[in-house]
Amino acid sequence: MEPRAGVSKQDIREQIWDYMEARNLADFPRPVHHRIPNFKGSYLACQNIKDLAVFARTQEVKVDPDKPLEGVRLLALQSKKTLLVPTPRLRTGLFNKITPPPGATKDILRKCATSQGVRNYSTPVGLDSRVLVDLVVVGSVAVSEKGWRIGKGEGYADLEYAMMVSMGAVSQGTPVVTIVHDCQVVDIPETLLEDHDLTVDYILTPTRVITTGCERPKPTGIVWSKISCEMMGKMPVLRSLRCREEQAGKDVTLRDTHQGLPRARAALSTVRSPRELPSLESGSWQGDDVPSSTVYIGNLPRDARVSELKRALSARGAAPSRLTWQGPQRGAFLHYRDPAEAWQAISRLQGFCLGANTVRVALARHQGASGLAGGRTGEPHPDP
């Protein structure tokens, strides 16, 4: 199957999904649209990895949690290799190590290789862990014999690889394998590829083992200008990596930092988990319906100093016109000239670290006369 001329990545995805559904080439879960397709013959295709010398010498292998890659996860466990699987949508970290119970039978190993097994038999791998991945196995919607790859459109495989580069867990020489149905091997115009797109070195299908010989460089790290404030809010591990790279002097400007107040406000207001940033939409302004120009910053280190905070804020382009220090509460109020400047500061401070702490940033609420005991009318206080 060859894609039509002048197509986009999404056109190719839709063409393959439609083709697989129309010809009943897919297994559960269905329909395959918006998924990495679980195709008939996936276990047979997975067995072909045993023919790769790179698999034989692998000690640690990272395999995506997609259903069609289950056979590779099982082979890795049966071969007593260290198996790492990314956490779903990177919500709780980068990846987990699958650890079967002592004396695990073949049936137990099969369960360990499933999505349920990944949940039940895994332990988190921290950013400080000394991980050196020898082989990366990813799912694909489409792939070309030249090694160009198209995922389902959410970018997680590309981001996971870039994060591993930032951790030092992979290098340009780390081989990447994908496992697909034969119909998913198509011509992909190189013009569709971007610098953050992951390429592959080997393609396994039920009938073929393809060595791509791809010479296009793989991602060299996280492209922060492709990362949104919304993504930062959903992925604590991404915030931690951004903090590290910022401290190393790298440019960590986010995609929507300079795209205007409405977009920044909309992105930031989606973060509502109490363990994440407070919901900005819950801020209030006494007697008016416009946002305050005061920002609350919390979770500061216990030994933080005002001078240290001011320097860090200036470095992020978020220096306030006035600062109210709340040292015992490990927080501070940042006063800006107008609401637009406050929202811009909030956008620039996403993922901001001071010392070892990722700080909490939100628009401050104003306390009315009937507010907290002992407080003065109109005194700002942090959103709970």
Residue 33 to residue 29: CA distance in whole angstroms: 10
Q: What does the pLDDT read at residue 91? A: 64
- To the question of pTM greater than 0.75 for the whole model, the response is no
Domains and CATH numbers, the chain: 9-211 (3.40.50.10420), 224-257 (no CATH), 294-363 (3.30.70.330)
Instruction: Give CA separation, 360 vs 352, 367, 383, in Å.
Output: 8, 20, 10
Residues 183, 20 contacting (CB under 8 angstroms): yes
Averages of pLDDT over runs of 10 residues in the chain (384 residues) are: 70 96 94 94 97 94 94 95 84 81 91 87 81 94 97 86 89 95 96 92 97 93 84 78 85 69 43 35 34 82 89 86 87 85 81 83 60 35 41
CB 176 within 8 A of CB 162: no
pLDDT at residue 268 in the model: 41
Provide the strand spans (E) within 190-283: 202-204, 209-211
Write out the two tokens for 274.
């109490």
* pLDDT for res 283: 31
Residue showing tokens 């910022």 = 246
82 — phi, psi (to 5°)?
A: -75, 120
| 3-class DSSP assignment, residue 119 | helix
Helix (H) or strand (E) holding 294: strand 294-298
